[in-house]
Structure 1
Amino acid sequence: MSPRRQSVTLADPVGTDPLWCEEYGYGLGRPDGILVLKYRSAAVLEFSEGRQDFLHQLYWSSDGMLATRYGSRTQFVGPREAFWAHRAVTHEVRAADRQSVYRICLREVPEGLVGLRAGAVSVDPEAARLIEAVCRPGHDEDAALAARTRIMAGLGPGAADFVGHHATGTGFALAVARALSHDPGDEAGLAEWAERLHISVKTLQRDFEREFGMPYSKVRTKLRLSTSRVLLETRPVAEVAHRVGYSSPSAFISAFTKEYGCTPGRYADRRAAADA
């Protein structure tokens, strides 16, 4: 089917700001069909837990963090992962403003995710590339259905899949980064992570430089600040600072201002004004 681009307003996002939704459907109605909805909004994008989905859902963002909730568990998911929800499973997904979110709707469960009701899953680089590729006007349907097969094969549920999909070095740094993305408030320092992994601090730091081109401390800061943007529109600054791992609001404000050029309070005020 030909993709269609339209401006829509979801029933459940925070605020009343309309968002762009591009729909790309291939083989719809068939077991091997795929529907991908690409969202982008000037306000917080929220898929609330009141949803009644009759298709399996995979949420992925190429340019930011997703805040996800399933049952009583809250988890953050970075660009190298996606959030999976089996059909009819209650869940919630939130993204920051001006962030692209891809929602992939499937009739079949990917082989690697059989038995998983909901949670963060690894997306290998080729699967990520193909998700973006099928969301382009004029994409051939046969090619898109072949891409769907590869996307499904590129999903994995565990830490081993994550490291296997992405590591160029030993995989130690990626394992730590995955844990931090899920819980950026973890206070463990580099030495503690090295002890948990039974390696030297020097080995772990070297792996961070190899994988990310920056030290552990900078990777952690970027993850914390990226996550904070998802929370700031609905949570006070002091609470967000604590949630993402800062010992004081002042330390968080300083780091946020250095990264984004404005204070978290001003950022939240701008977003509130955009929603008004």
Structure 2
Amino acid sequence: MWCEEYGYGLGLPTGILVLKYRAAGLLEFGEGRQDFLHQLYWSPDGVLSARHGGDAQFVGPKEAFWAHRAVSHEVRAADRQTVYRICLREVPAALAGLRAGAVSIDDEAARLVQAIARPGYGRHEALAARLRIMTGFGASTREFVGHHATGTGFAMTVARTLSHDPGDPVRLAEWAERLHISVKTLQRDFAREFGMSYTQWRTELRLRASRALLETQPVAEVARRVGYASPSAFIAAFSKEYGCTPGRYALRETGSDHGPEL
């Protein structure tokens, strides 16, 4: 694993520290707490598995995981995934009162986080970027949809819910009923937002989420957690997508044998 550090105005209430991580295998921030700094974890290229107390959820690339200072938490990412850990002394206005949980990050804030986590970015420019980053977070579904939806917003509403719990078994027709729209309208919105059907998007989400768990949990438990009716169905889907079984994937990344896949 390697880590790059980029700090601007450190020690000041208006400062920001961005730690950029990447690892060949599982990237794990074990359970802990930071008593002086608030933290945000964001990955532009994968799903994070986050836990706060008894609450566990997944966080997709259009969201970050927020942990208020002095709140214990743990975060995991899959192999070859870049993770940005953003440390702040101030709380973004939209996150006031939130102890920990998934929050949306808009496209401009995401771009600026990546920009200031590079060599040669000036202090003055970075602190100006920090002001915009602070306004780019939102805790509610409405803010999430406002940040990201280019269509009607129905697909984004469903996407945020499923991103937190890929194992949710709700079918497309039931989502449409909950949103008081037709199935065709929701299908069209998924195609517009994601360039694929609801079923394809959900499968992709489930498999990406599974990679953050496979190195620490048995295949059967991972299959259940991400919504597959049986380990064999999960193994078949995973093998089709990644060209190897989940067990082989875990063995390759950890160098240890988890035993039989079933």
Q: With the length of structure 1 as denominator, give the TM-score of the two structures.
A: 0.91
**Contact 2:46–2:78 (CA<8 Å) still a contact in 1?**
yes
Aligned to 2:190: 208
**Alpha-carbon separation, structure 2, partners of 1:51 and 1:160:** 29
Once the two structures are superposed, residues 125-149 of structure 1 have per-residue CA deviations (whole angstroms, 9 ceiling, x without a partner) of 0000001000111001111101111
Where does 1:92-241 land on structure 2 (aligned, <5 Å)? Answer: 92-241=74-223
1:53 is displaced (CA, Å) by 3.7
CA distance in 1, matches of 2:240, 2:200: 13
- CA–CA distance in structure 1, aligned partners of residues 161 and 142 of structure 2: 12
Shift of 1:51: 3.2
The separation in 2 between residues aligned to 1:169 and 1:50, in whole angstroms, is 39
For 2:256 and 2:228, the matched residues in 1 are separated by: 27
What is the alpha-carbon distance in structure 1 between the residues aligned to residue 246 and residue 8 of structure 2? Answer: 41
Q: Which amino acid aligns with 2:92?
A: P
Moved over 2 A (4+): 50-53
Instruction: Mark the runs of 5 or more structure 2 residues left unpaired by the alignment.
Output: 258-262
State the alpha-carbon separation in 2 of the partners of residues 79 and 30 from structure 1. 29
Distance 1:20 1:51 in 2: 21
Q: Contact 2:33/2:69 (CA < 8 Å) preserved in 1?
A: no
* CA distance in 2 between partners of 1:61 and 1:140 (Å): 23
Which amino acid in structure 2 is aligned with residue 94 of structure 1? R
Identity %: 75
Give the secondary-structure state (helix, strand or coil) at the position aligned to 2:75: strand
Shift of 1:49: 1.8
Deviations 1:124-179 (A, max 9, x none): 00000001000111001111101111011000001001000000000000110111
Cα gap change, 1:47 to 1:206, in 2 (>3 Å): same
- Which residue pairs with 2:32 in the alignment? 50
Residue 268 (str. 1) matches residue 247 (str. 2) = no
- Offset of 1:50 from its aligned partner? 2.8
- How far apart are residue 273 of structure 1 and its match? 1.2
How far apart, CA to CA, are the structure 1 residues paired with 2:19 and 2:32? 19
Equivalents in 1 of 2:256, 2:88: separation in Å? 34
Displacement, 1:274?
Answer: 8.2
Q: Which residue identity does 1:268 align to in structure 2?
A: A
1:201-260 Cα distance to aligned partner (Å, 9 max, x none): 000000000000100000000000000000000111111111100111111111111111
Q: Secondary structure at the match of 2:31?
A: coil
What is the identity, as a one-letter code, of the residue corresponding to 1:252? Answer: F
Match of 2:62 among 69, 72, 80: 80
Partner of residue 13, structure 2: 31
Matched residue of 2:108: which SS?
helix
What is the root-mean-square deviation of aligned Cα atoms in Å? 1.2
C-alpha deviations, 1:43-96, integer Å up to 9, x for none?
Answer: 211112233442000100011001111111001000000000110111111111
Aligned mates of 1:266, 1:48 — CA distance in 2 = 24
Distance in 2 (CA, whole Å) between partners of 1:224 and 1:96 is 13
